[in-house]
Homo-oligomer: A and B are copies of this chain.
C-alpha cells in the first residue's frame, strides 16, 4: 500500500498556486512517499473570505472522495483548513490541514508564533481557528500585509512588506517563530528567515512533513488488523 500517493489539494482554481505549492514540496519528495498536487477546478481563483472557504467544501469533499481509493493520505492546502474535519471523519487515511499543521509545527519551534496574513479580514477567521485549536495563548499576533493582487505580483515589494510585518510581530508582539498565513508564499521563506533571524514556517511544507510519517505508521496499523 506504500505506493499510494499523498494527495495535496489546492482548493482554489489557480494552477499557478498549485505549481508553487508543488515546488515548495520538492525537498520532501525524497522521503519515499509520492506527492501529488491537485487543483480544485470548481474553487474560486483565491480564497479570501469565510464564505469562499465554506463554499469550497462541497466540491473539495467530492474531489477527495473520488480520489480516496488511490490516495494514501490527503492535505488540504488552504490556510483555513476548509472541510478538514468533515473529510477526516469520512476517511480512514490521514487527513491534514495546512493551518493546523503549521501551528503544531510552530509550537515545537518557538514559544509564541506570529502569523503573516495577506489581508486584514482574514484575521478574525484565523483567531477562531486558533481558539478551536485551544492555542490562543501561544499566538503572539497576526498581522496583514494588506497588499492587493497587483502588489503581490511584485516579489521585491512583497518581500519588503513581509519583512516589515515580520519585524512588528517579532519586536512589538514577541513572536519567536513565524507562520506564513497563505498557501502560496513558500518562496519567501528562506529570505525572511535570514532577514529576521527567526524560523519561518510554510504551512504546506509543515503539513506534508507531518503527513509522510503518519502515512507510514498508518500502513503498518492497517497491516496488523
A residues touching B (Cβ–Cβ < 8 Å)? 2, 26-28, 30-33, 49-51, 53-55, 57-58, 61, 83, 85-87, 89-90, 96, 100-101, 104-105, 107-108, 110-112, 121, 123-125, 127-129, 131-138, 141-142, 174, 176, 190, 193-194, 205, 208-214, 216-217, 219-221, 224-225
Contacts and interface: CB of A to CB of B under 8 A. Distances in A.
Contacts of A104: 104-105, 107-108
Contacts of A225: 190, 194
B212 A213 contact: yes
A1 B144 CA distance: 37
Copies in the complex: 6
* Chain A interface, DSSP helix/strand/loop, else mixed: helix
29 contacts: A2-B30, A27-B216, A27-B217, A31-B31, A31-B33, A31-B212, A49-B86, A50-B86, A54-B54, A54-B57, A54-B58, A54-B83, A96-B108, A100-B108, A105-B214, A107-B133, A108-B210, A111-B127, A111-B128, A123-B174, A124-B176, A131-B134, A131-B137, A134-B135, A137-B137, A194-B225, A209-B213, A209-B214, A211-B213
Given A111-B124, A134-B138, A209-B210, 5 more contacts: A55-B61, A58-B58, A96-B108, A100-B107, A107-B134
B136 A124 contact: no
Contacts of A220: 26-27
